[in-house]
Amino acid sequence: FGECGFVDNHTVEVVDKDGKKTQYTAEKILIATGGKPVFPPGEGIEEHCISSDGFFSMEDLPKVAVVVGAGYIAVELAGVLNSLGSEVHLVVRKGKALREFDPMISDGLDAEMIKAGVLIHRHTNGVVKVELDASTKKKNVTLHSGDVIYGADIVLMAAGREPNTTEWVANTESLHLETTGVKVSPKKHVVVDEYQNTNVDNIYALGDVCGEVELTPMAIAAGRRLADRLFSGKEEDKVAKVSYEYVPTVVFSHPTIGTCGITEPKAIELYGKDAVKVYTSKFSNLHYGIFAVEPDQKPKTLMKVICAGLDEKVVGIHVLGMGSDEMMQGFGVAMKMGCTKADLDSSCAIHPTASEELVTMGVWGTSPQVSGAKVSPLGGATPGEPRLS
């Protein structure tokens, strides 16, 4: 196989590494070509920087690393390099990383990164140029703010995988979609409906190439639903589609972040301040109990449960700290099922764990005693029996 492009609505042509062309025809064609790292414009940026792809080709640990970006990849790789002993400079365009996350979480991560020794350059508006010092083979990074970072061994551009210039396209350059009439957005993402249909009857698209919830498990879930709808033959699968709401996700930062649902500002925007109730907690994980460190220096776990409406339906759970990645999967299931604060309170805590805090938060039992479950667990009710016939 090799580079692929459309010939017509039912035919693609693949050019292999030797230039040999082979055409394939199919009744249905799925576009799932993903995205790619972005290099913003600027003198020497593409020439002297690496992307997240290049990170995995590194053979030596850099003494000084500059990471440019404010998203998942930037904070993850900055944390990895810092933990391994590099001097890490994190360059963000505005005030902090992960600005779209709940403020409690993004502020908490910011504080932990500073405590860990990451040097954060704020309000830079990005990089102007990257120059190579011929005598030292080091790189000097000039920021739009006027600051210059000298002596970097690597400059890692993690400005995201979403389009940020009119020239960037989401791996659709060679697809020749113009031969099919498939619509793309102004940012060159393939336009689809909720069932992953393009505007061409037999052509479908999913994943990062569509620009919605750009996570690998999300693309896998969308692919499974699409396969069920097109090929299972079951009546119930004729309307199968993936849900893009309440998607649990994790940032493997240092410390880890787990989140599901909307942020507190978004909840207030959607439902009004009076309809939103927020529960929070801050503590040091018991893992650090035996560490000979002052309590205020121990890494903190931050938790927030956001509820909305008369029934206190849980619309957001956000965690920063050890174990947040593992605990969020289960709470994501609960949120998908429509859990309320009372449902969380009805669950017996597992002690000693960090996750027990999410089912004991606030003044226990004071939320409205309303369940979002099909079979309510409230008031000590027994769980429903499995349906056998």
What pLDDT was estimated at residue 386? 61
pLDDT at 168: 37
Phi, psi values for residue 121, rounded to 5°:
-100, 115
- pLDDT below 50 — which residues of the chain? 162-170
- pLDDT of amino acid 169: 46
What pLDDT is stored for residue 373 in this prediction? 87
Q: Whole-prediction pTM value? A: 0.90
Q: Where are the beta strands (DSSP E) in 57-176?
A: 64-68, 87-91, 119-121, 127-132, 139-143, 148-152, 154-157
pLDDT for res 171? 52
Structure tokens at 87: 């001097």
Catalytic residue among 189, 287, 318, 351: 351
Per-residue tokens: 386? 């499995």
Q: What does the pLDDT read at residue 297?
A: 86
**pLDDT single digits (tens) 320-363:** 999 999 999 999 999 999 999 999 999 999 999 999 999 999 88
In this prediction, residue 64 carries a pLDDT of: 98
- The 10 Å CB-count burial string (b at 16+, else e) for 122-151 is bebebbbebbeeeeeebbbbbbeeeeebee
Residue 204's nearest CA partner among 180, 238, 170 is 180
Which two three-digit tokens encode residue 9? Answer: 């609505």
pLDDT for position 192 = 96
pLDDT at position 167 is: 38
Establish whether 351 is a catalytic residue. yes
